[in-house]
Amino acid sequence: MKELMKRAKSPTPHFFVRLRNIGLALTSISAVIMAAPIALPALLVSIAGYTAVAGGIASAVSQLGIKKEE
């Protein structure tokens, strides 16, 4: 558990920062679609659910990438 927390607090490479931000954007866009006050097609809501899961996983995994010390 300590190693995981240490990795999460370590500096993250630029590629993984961009990937994390894209994952967060996908998650927030899909959350807006799923919480829309108007009726949307079931296929769109279903795709938004899968996109939220994929974005969350991409963000979490990207945060654990660390810069290689040279």
Sequence spans of domains, the chain: 2-63
For residue 46, pLDDT beyond 80: yes
Q: For residue 69, what is the DSSP state?
A: P
Contact 22, 50 (CB under 8 A): no
Model pLDDT for residues 1-42, shown as the tens digit of each residue: 888 888 878 888 899 999 999 999 999 999 999 998 899 999
Global confidence as pTM: 0.79
The per-residue b/e assignment along 11-30, b for 16 or more CB within 10 angstroms, e otherwise, is: ebeeebeebbeebeebbeeb
φ and ψ of 11, to 5 deg: -60, 140
